[in-house]
Amino acid sequence: MNYEEFYYSIDCKFPYHDESEWKRIVAQSIEIGEDAPFLVLHEICRMPASEKLEHAKHMEMYKYWKDSFSSPVQEIVEPASLSYINKMELSDNEALDIMDKLSEYPESYSALQVVLFSCPDDDEIVDDKYQETIRLWKSGA
């Protein structure tokens, strides 16, 4: 399975209540590589309002994901990830700082999205930074 197929297989279909299945998906994302593990992180963090999951189970899922592989991007994006899971927002400035750090890791699109949606961004400065980072990565700069 390639990245695009993987994306469509889990987008809005993540099995939050089937532990063996979400663990399988985490492992599969690591095999696929690229941004796939962070696509899974995005699904873990941005759980739909229609889904209900105990906080402890949500944290267990995140911890399993985090402990399953190692990447410097994990540590960078962690404050944004935890802000979602704990239902708290980062400040726009905190999100901008995280995006600055992530900009050093080209094609970390899903991690960047987790940060984008972790703050209020009332003035759309975080969205501007998101768009700028994507442009930078696509230009190869």
pLDDT of residue 128: 97
Per-residue pLDDT tens digits for 23-82: 999 999 999 998 999 999 999 998 888 889 999 999 999 999 999 999 999 999 999 999
Alpha helical stretches, state H, the chain: 3-10, 19-32, 36-45, 55-67, 72-85, 92-102, 109-116, 125-139
Cβ neighbors of 41 (< 8 A, separation 6 or more) are 62, 65, 77, 81, 110, 111, 114
How many domains, in total, are found in the chain? 1
Residue keyed to tokens 């089937």: 18
pLDDT of residue 93: 97
pLDDT of residue 140: 82
Position 49, amino acid: A
**Residue range of the domain that includes 70:** 3-139
Summary mean pLDDT of the chain: 95
User: Please, which pLDDT band fits residue 141 given cuts at 50, 70 and 90?
Assistant: low
Whole-angstrom Cα distance, residue 80 to residue 38? 12
User: Please, which pLDDT band fits residue 12 given cuts at 50, 70 and 90?
Assistant: confident
Share above pLDDT 70 across residues of the chain, in percent, rounded to a whole number: 99
